[in-house]
Structure 1
Amino acid sequence: MTLVPPTGLVNTDRARTLYGHAGDTWIAAMWRADDLADAVVAERGSAALIRPALADGIGSLAEAPPALVALFDSIEREPDWLDHDRCDRAADALVRHFPAMAIVLAAASLLRGAGNSIAGKPLALTGRYSTMPGVRSVEVGEWLRRVLTPGGMRRDGAGFAYTVRVRMIHAHVRAHLLRSGIWEHDAWGVPIPQPYMAFTLAEFGHIAIEAMGTLGVRFTADELDDIYHLWRYVGHVIGMDDDLNPRNEADHRRIEELYRLTSPGPDAYDREFVTALNADYLIPEFANTMSLPQRWRVPIATAVMEGYERVFLGDADADALGIRHRRIARLLPRLSGVMQLISRGQIRRAGGLDEFTRRAYADRDTEMARMRAAYAMTHDMVDTAPDRASV
Structure 2
Amino acid sequence: MASRKHYNAMANDLRTVGNYSFYWTKEHIPKEKTDPLRFEHDELGAATINVIQKIHQREQEAHKQRGERIEKLDMFATLKANRHSDETLEEFWKQVNAVPDWVNWEQLERGQRFFYRYALGNIVGFALQGFVGENSASTSVVEVLLRTGGFSTRSLRRRLLETFQLVLEVTHSLDFIKPGGKGHETAVRVRLLHSMVQQRMLRVAEVKGPSYYDTSVHGVPMNTLDSIHALATFSCNHAWQQLPHMGIRPPQQEVDDYIALWRYVGHIMGVPTDFFATTSQAKAIMESLSYNELHITPSSLVVGHNFVEALKDLPPVNISAGFIQAGSRRLNGDDICDQLGMGHSGWYHYACFKGHCWLVVGLATAQRWIPSFEAWSIQFCRDILHNSIIHSKYGLKGGSLLDFKYVPDGQITGCEKNDRLDGDRMWFYERPLELLYLIVFCGGCLSMIGTAIIAAYLLLGFVPYSGVF
TM-score by length of 2: 0.68
Q: Residue type matched to 1:284 in 2?
A: D
Q: Alignment partner of 1:355: what SS?
A: helix
Contact kept in structure 2, 1:92 and 1:357, CA below 8 Å: yes
Q: 1:308 to 1:69 in 2, by over 3 A?
A: same
CA offsets 1:233-276 (integer angstroms, 9 cap, x no match): 11111111244x42344334333333344337232332222222
How much does 1:307 deviate?
Answer: 1.3
Instruction: Provide the C-alpha distance between the structure 2 equivalents of 1:165 and 1:155, rounded to a whole number of angstroms.
Output: 13
Bigger mean CA deviation after superposition, 152-161 or 42-51:
42-51
Measured at CA, do residues 384 and 142 of structure 1 come closer, stay the same or move farther in structure 2, by a change above 3 Å?
Answer: farther
Picking from 193, 196, 216, the partner of 1:169 is 193
SS of residue matched to 1:356 = helix
Q: Which moved more, 1:62-71 or 1:91-100?
A: 62-71
- Cα distance in 2 for residues equivalent to 1:369 and 1:174: 26
AA partner of residue 187 (structure 1): V
- In structure 1, give the amino acid aligned to 2:257: D
CA contact (8 A) 1:30 1:193 kept: yes
Q: Structure 1 residues 83, 50: CA separation in 2 closer, same or farther (over 3 Å shift)?
A: farther
The answer to whether structure 1 residue 117 and structure 2 residue 139 are counterparts is yes
Matched, 1:363 2:380: no
Asked if 1 retains the 8 angstrom alpha-carbon contact of 2:191 and 2:269, the reply is yes
Q: Is the 8 A contact 2:148 2:408 kept in 1?
A: no
Q: Which residue of 1 aligns with 2:42?
A: 34
User: Are 2:168 and 1:153 equivalent residues in the alignment?
Assistant: no
Greater Cα offset, 259-268 or 312-321: 259-268
Tell me which amino acid in the other structure corresponds to 1:45: K
CA distance in 1, matches of 2:276, 2:223: 15
Q: How does 1:14-33 map to 2 (within 5 A)?
A: 22-23=29-30, 24-33=32-41
Q: Which residue of 2 aligns with 1:84?
A: 105
2:165 to 138, 142, 166: 142
8 A contact 1:122–1:173 mirrored in 2: no
* Amino acid corresponding to residue 141 of structure 2 in structure 1: A
Q: Kindly provide the amino acid, as one letter, of the partner of residue 33 in structure 1.
A: H
CA distance in 1, matches of 2:387, 2:162: 15
Distance 1:149 1:75 in 2: 19
Contact 1:97 1:217 in 2 (8 A): no
Aligned length: 356
1:107, distance to aligned residue in structure 2 (A): 0.5
Once the two structures are superposed, residues 160-201 of structure 1 have per-residue CA deviations (whole angstroms, 9 ceiling, x without a partner) of 111011011110111011111233121111111111111111
Gaps of 5+ in 2: 1-23, 57-72, 206-211, 410-469
Aligned mates of 1:28, 1:383 — CA distance in 2: 30
- Of 361-370 and 41-50, deviating more is 41-50
Give the alignment of 1:197-346 within 5 angstroms.
Answer: 197-209=227-239, 210-243=241-274, 245-263=275-293, 265-281=295-311, 283-285=312-314, 288-289=316-317, 301-326=320-345, 328=347, 336=357, 339-345=360-366
| Cα separation, 2, equivalents of 1:21 and 1:212 | 22
| Equivalent of residue 94 in structure 2, options 62, 68, 73 | 73
CA distance in 2, matches of 1:249, 1:180: 39
CA distance in structure 2 between the partners assigned to 1:141 and 1:174 by the alignment? 22
Residues 174, 19 of structure 1: alpha-carbon distance in 2 compared, 3 angstrom cutoff: farther
Distance between the aligned counterparts of 1:224 and 1:360, measured in 2?
19
CA 1:62–1:85: 2 relative to 1, 3 Å:
closer
Which of 262-271 and 63-72 deviates more? 262-271
Please say if residues 114 and 120 of structure 1, whose CA atoms lie closer than 8 Å, have aligned partners that are also in contact.
yes
Partner amino acid, structure 1, of 2:34: W
SS at match of 2:225: helix
Residues in 2 aligned to 1:72 and 1:335: alpha-carbon distance in whole angstroms: 43
Shift in alpha-carbon separation, 1:349–1:223, aligned structure 2, 3 A: closer
Backbone CA RMSD of aligned residues: 3.1
Q: Determine if contact 1:108/1:313 at 8 Å carries over to the other structure.
A: yes
Per the normalisation by structure 1, the TM-score is: 0.80
The structure-2 alpha-carbon separation of the partners of 1:133 and 1:27, relative to structure 1 and needing over 3 Å to count, comes to same
Distance 2:270 2:237 in 1: 21
Displacement of 1:122: 1.3
Structure 1 counterpart of 2:224, from 191, 194, 206: 194
| Unmatched tracts of structure 1, length 5 or more | 1-16, 290-296
Go from structure 1 to structure 2 and tell me whether the alpha carbon gap of 1:45 and 1:378 turns closer, same or farther (over 3 Å shift). farther
* Aligned with residue 102 of structure 1, among 98, 123, 133: 123
Worse overlay, 208-217 or 185-194: 208-217
Question: Aligned AA for 2:47?
Answer: A
- Seen in structure 2, the aligned counterparts of structure 1 residues 288 and 83 have a Cα distance that, compared at 3 Å, is same
Q: Within the alignment, does 1:383 sit opposite 2:403 as a pair?
A: yes
Q: 1:184 to 1:335 in 2, by over 3 A?
A: closer
CA distance, structure 2, for counterparts of residue 46 and residue 22 of structure 1:
42
Q: Secondary structure at the match of 1:326?
A: coil
Q: What does the per-residue CA deviation read over 1:314-350, in whole Å, with 9 as the maximum and x for residues that have no partner?
A: 1211111111233548775697456412443478789
* Secondary structure of the corresponding residue to residue 220 of structure 2: coil
Letter of the 1:154 partner, please give it.
K
Task: Report the Cα distance in structure 1 between the residues aligned to 2:100 and 2:78, rounded to whole angstroms.
Answer: 20
